[in-house]
Structure 1
Amino acid sequence: MDGNHDRLLWNPDIAPVEKNVKNWGYLPLLGVWASIAAPNSMLVGSAGIVFGFNVIQVILIALAGDLITLIPLIIQSHGAVKYGLAEPQLDRTRFGIWGTYIPSWIRFFAAMGFFGVQTFLVTEAVMGFVLEITGRAVVLASYKSVTPALLVSLFPNLFWGTFISIIIVQTIILILAKPIRGSPSLKFLGYIMPWVSIIALTFTFIYFVSLYPAALVSALHQPYAPLSISVIPIFLIFLVSNIHATQVISWPDMMRFGKDFKHMVVGQIGLPIFYTLVVAYGAIMSAITEVLTKSATYDPSLLIIRFITVPAIAIFILIFYSFTTLNTNIFSNVVPPIYDLNNTFPSKLTWFRGTIIITALGILIGAWSLYLKGIYVYFSTWILFISGLLGPIAGIIVADYAVLKGFKLNIDDVYKRNGSYTYLKGFNPVSIITLIITFFIVFAPLYGIKYHIFIILKDASWISGFVIAFILYLVLSLILRDKKWEKASES
């Protein structure tokens, strides 16, 4: 960099990382995926069983989602590895130095919602621990259908007391952690937690299925759900839920610490390996419960509380669930929003203030309350909505960086108000118009437009948003291209 940057667009935390900090090799990068393949990923596999698919279909759909994710994810992370930039700064090159706030705040909103959901899942695990050590977990044994709503209704005081306590404890941990620059603390988690996570989840799975061998055989031989017209909406919703929409956008915040592009690409192998494996664990465990009770239990903690009858083992698993879910919250739902806040208020935001804001908004947005209402409500509302917001952003990113810019950026202009990324008063009109049109199309049913094609596009929210935005951005770039909006000089 030439050092001639605007103080409103630069601070040490959002500057390009130096070469001595770019030291994440294969294992930390591979391990990030292993740590994200946590109980909440098992939940996705379990949801597939609730939606009516059999185990094989769930695994194949999850793998398809992984492969769809990898293409934009690798393209997206290329700029992070090459230039050492976090996502909000990369977004300045396609949305403008002020337009970058649009994807930043969409990503921020998504992460806040998931932060609340993860906090809810930690609460369930800790509450399960309390129920096990006090002998009250046996109360759930008399219920065939066990859901988060049932857990809250049976033990309301314990649940809400635990929920508030977890919010406080988690906030304190985050304030003390300060992982914003990513090197020692995040790298340590990248080395240690992933492998602990995979080992513990594998132990949980093996022990669980060993308790019910006959049900396991039956669960693995359930008939395929026919992919008829009536099943297409459910299929699309479940496929979209297996596309890692937030990771596609957020991954540069981690990948910027990668040694080089080769290390980054190899690290992405962890996605189809670890994620699909854990989804399979969740699908098989829930399929077993469906055989046993005629009603599939989908919540990861409730699977343990209800169906593992040895308290000591259940306690061990629930403690692990608590820690690994917190680890997921740090990697996926804390670091990216902090970068977004820093990008918006680079001279005013501190880690402490950011943590307080994140904690408060994560609870107030209330995505966790949709999860409390049921798995289908959660997937068909929150997951689809967030996917519909993030898919078009990913489409613009790939079209702009890979097709138009040819993987080249002017890194100095990222931090200048009069550089090539100023576009039109700090906003790239092509990106803004593309987002508005794509959002209107994807969310058309919400405005009362009930044509079947729009309903399908809504159910395929991330996929349809990505494709429409990708094509539209390229077309508008040709139509609206102007010397004043010149995108980026090659570095």
Structure 2
Amino acid sequence: MTATESRSTVDGAGTASTALYSYDLAPTKKEGRRWGAYNVFTLWANDVHSLGNYAFAIGLFALGLSVWGILLAFLLASALLFGLLTLSGYMGHKTGVPFPVMSRIAFGIRGARIPAAVRGVVAIAWFGIQTYLASSVLDALIVAMFPGLRSWEDHSALGLSALGWITFLALWAVQVLIVSYGMHVIRRYMAVAAPTTLITMCALAVWMFVRAGGSISLSTAHPLTGGAMWLQVLQGAALWVVIYGTFVLNFCDFTRSARSRGAIVRGNLVGIPVNMLFFAGIVVVLSGAQFKLDGRVITSPTDIVQTIPNLVMLACASVALVVLTIAVNLLANFVAPIYVLVNLFPRKLNFRRAGLVSAVIGLAIMPWNLYDNPVVVNYFLGGLGALLGPVFGVIMADYWLLRRARVNIPDLYREDPTGDYHYRNGYNARAIGAFVPAAAIAVTVALVPVFHLVAGFSWFVGAILGAVIYSAIGDRTRVFQDVDGESIAVAAE
């Protein structure tokens, strides 16, 4: 964070522990809240149109869903996400705290490291993978502009070509530079990237529609029908929610800076249902137009971009995709691990240093090798992703059902054994007791082949089980101080 984003520092209620408190973890004060509805909208305008999301949505067409089936799947998913993300966003607005601190409410001041670590590991891995995908687009553009550099792709080290190393490190450095200036620069970058992304993808869809003679194929040659179609619609909607299982957890990292609840609702309304249906419309035009032209099912917008005959148009489209991927990475995969690391080492790390550490880890894991290994992506990252549902279920049940949104914010930063969130040695055994069985079942559903027909619903299975179990065994005896995050201040040693 930067000095321009105000943090609370003093409160007569007691002293915060330096093991739990730092400037970047402190609640955002009212004067530091600068995110309006447009900023929330740009968050979704960037993230929804990521290359990975396009690959997933176009995959539904390849699996046999018709245009109308794809639109229905996204309509259902956007309605669910609007509700989940609005509830999650309200939590950030009221408390003003980032996700690792929010987790302390349910899991305890030390137990919160468990859900935060799961979220952080998933984010760092995808940060590296998304940077690699963006560098691949940049590779293709450079070779198109300078064919003589094609030979640089013939030499590799550690699984990546010489040209790949140059483009990857360049994009890696750009992202580190942006993050080093804090959330206010990320907010400004999104504000510029969002319209660029929307205009570019809309123009690409229009170009394809004209190429296809003003019409598109509504399905592949062998479309799904009957029960198989409806199952795929529901699976597609569920998997789209799973993709955002990370965001529904740490949406508070952004809405802690929202000016009002109304800004969250308006930004979500345009950014989720409206924007996601716009996204689905682009997907069906790109997929249907290409299939009509040559019977080929594309896997990503990059397949179409690379066919653009005009070099200037190709360059503009490729740069727009790179700008988009950087925006997605900053939002979904960079901010979350930064707060996780600051939470783990508040005495040594601030927002800028934690960003550098996250980026170095994202480079050290050599993400191109991860992406090229389906076992790693499907089992390791898929298994971790399945854990996010139970975390969400426990946190939401604790905050909304048991506490009724009443939170003692100063105690989130104190190690006092009598504090509301100290529980037993800093761990809430009830939260962990609900999380473990729910997580075990969710991972089993996600990864064991016998459950492949319902694997797409693993996040929901985990979230519902986590919420139900925790609601049954959660502590209802404590009396919580109802504190408004806008006015709370916490003392640092």
TM over 0.5: yes
Partner of 1:217: 216
Give the Cα separation in 2 of the matches to 1:441 and 1:456. 15
Give the Cα separation in 2 of the matches to 1:57 and 1:482. 44
Shift of 1:345: 0.9
1:207–1:372: structure 2 CA closer, same or farther, 3 Å change rule? Answer: farther
Corresponding letter in the other structure for 2:473: L
Corresponding letter in the other structure for 2:96: G
Greater CA drift, 128-137 or 75-84: 128-137
Shift of 1:165: 2.1
Partner of 1:470: 467
**1:88 and 2:106 matched:** no
1:297 match: secondary structure: coil
Corresponding letter in the other structure for 1:444: T
Q: Spell out, residue by residue over 1:90-141, the C-alpha distance to the aligned partner (whole angstroms, 9 max, x if none).
A: 111011101111111111011112212211221121012123213599x9xx
Shift of 1:416: 0.6
Give the Cα separation in 1 of the matches to 2:455 and 2:247. 20
Partner of 2:489: none
Q: Spell out, residue by residue over 1:262-294, the C-alpha distance to the aligned partner (whole angstroms, 9 max, x if none).
A: 111111111122233223313331333334444
Partner of 1:105: 117
1:267–1:383: structure 2 CA closer, same or farther, 3 Å change rule? Answer: farther
Partner of 2:85: 73
Asked if the contact 1:96/1:426 (under 8 Å) is kept, the reply is: yes
Q: Spell out, residue by residue over 1:28-62, the C-alpha distance to the aligned partner (whole angstroms, 9 max, x if none).
A: 12221112132423223212122221222122212
1:399-478 → structure 2 map (5 Å cutoff): 399-418=397-416, 419-444=419-444, 454-477=451-474
Give the Cα separation in 2 of the matches to 1:447 and 1:313. 42
Shift of 1:166: 3.4
1:272–1:23: structure 2 CA closer, same or farther, 3 Å change rule? Answer: same
Corresponding letter in the other structure for 1:11: S
1:429–1:120: structure 2 CA closer, same or farther, 3 Å change rule? Answer: same
Shift of 1:210: 1.6
1:122–1:274: structure 2 CA closer, same or farther, 3 Å change rule? Answer: same
Give the Cα separation in 2 of the matches to 1:389 and 1:136. 47
Asked if the contact 2:24/2:350 (under 8 Å) is kept, the reply is: no
Partner of 2:6: none
Asked if the contact 1:385/1:461 (under 8 Å) is kept, the reply is: no
Partner of 1:282: 283
2:32 match: secondary structure: coil
1:296 match: secondary structure: coil
Partner of 1:148: none
Give the Cα separation in 1 of the matches to 2:78 and 2:155. 40
Corresponding letter in the other structure for 1:324: L
Give the Cα separation in 1 of the matches to 2:148 and 2:57. 28
Asked if the contact 1:388/1:458 (under 8 Å) is kept, the reply is: no
Normalized per residue, which structure has more helix? 1
Asked if the contact 2:76/2:237 (under 8 Å) is kept, the reply is: no
Corresponding letter in the other structure for 1:209: F
Give the Cα separation in 2 of the matches to 1:267 and 1:351. 25
1:221-236 → structure 2 map (5 Å cutoff): 224-228=223-227, 232=231, 236=235
Asked if the contact 2:65/2:232 (under 8 Å) is kept, the reply is: no
Give the Cα separation in 2 of the matches to 1:31 and 1:248. 16
**1:11 and 2:22 matched:** yes
1:360–1:302: structure 2 CA closer, same or farther, 3 Å change rule? Answer: farther
Greater CA drift, 439-448 or 100-109: 439-448
Asked if the contact 2:64/2:222 (under 8 Å) is kept, the reply is: no
Asked if the contact 2:153/2:164 (under 8 Å) is kept, the reply is: no
Partner of 1:172: 173
Partner of 2:491: none
Partner of 1:391: 389
Asked if the contact 2:383/2:447 (under 8 Å) is kept, the reply is: no
Shift of 1:64: 1.5
Corresponding letter in the other structure for 1:208: M
Corresponding letter in the other structure for 1:164: W
1:68–1:162: structure 2 CA closer, same or farther, 3 Å change rule? Answer: farther
Partner of 2:56: 44
Asked if the contact 1:16/1:84 (under 8 Å) is kept, the reply is: yes
Give the Cα separation in 2 of the matches to 1:254 and 1:103. 18
1:325–1:363: structure 2 CA closer, same or farther, 3 Å change rule? Answer: same
Corresponding letter in the other structure for 2:140: G
Partner of 1:299: 300
**1:206 and 2:203 matched:** no
1:436–1:227: structure 2 CA closer, same or farther, 3 Å change rule? Answer: farther
1:93–1:378: structure 2 CA closer, same or farther, 3 Å change rule? Answer: same
Corresponding letter in the other structure for 2:412: V
Return the TM-score normalized by structure 1: 0.85
Computed over aligned residues only, the root mean square deviation of the Cα atoms, in angstroms, reads 3.1
Partner of 2:4: none
1:247-258 → structure 2 map (5 Å cutoff): 247-258=247-258
Corresponding letter in the other structure for 1:226: T
Shift of 1:161: 2.5
Asked if the contact 1:423/1:487 (under 8 Å) is kept, the reply is: no
Give the Cα separation in 1 of the matches to 2:81 and 2:47. 15
Partner of 1:325: 325
Shift of 1:81: 0.6
Shift of 1:369: 4.5
Give the Cα separation in 2 of the matches to 1:220 and 1:318. 27
Asked if the contact 1:99/1:428 (under 8 Å) is kept, the reply is: yes
1:293–1:85: structure 2 CA closer, same or farther, 3 Å change rule? Answer: same
Partner of 1:119: 131
Partner of 1:362: 362
Give the Cα separation in 2 of the matches to 1:250 and 1:432. 19
1:286–1:162: structure 2 CA closer, same or farther, 3 Å change rule? Answer: farther
Aligned sequence identity (%): 20
Asked if the contact 2:65/2:229 (under 8 Å) is kept, the reply is: no
1:296–1:466: structure 2 CA closer, same or farther, 3 Å change rule? Answer: same
Asked if the contact 2:132/2:168 (under 8 Å) is kept, the reply is: no
Shift of 1:355: 3.2
Q: Spell out, residue by residue over 1:283-312, the C-alpha distance to the aligned partner (whole angstroms, 9 max, x if none).
A: 33133333444441212222211x322222
Return the TM-score normalized by structure 2: 0.85
Q: Report the number of matched residues.
A: 464
Greater CA drift, 167-176 or 67-76: 167-176
Give the Cα separation in 1 of the matches to 2:479 and 2:126. 34
Corresponding letter in the other structure for 2:398: D
Which runs of 5 or more structure 2 residues have no equivalent in the other structure?
Answer: 1-10, 484-493
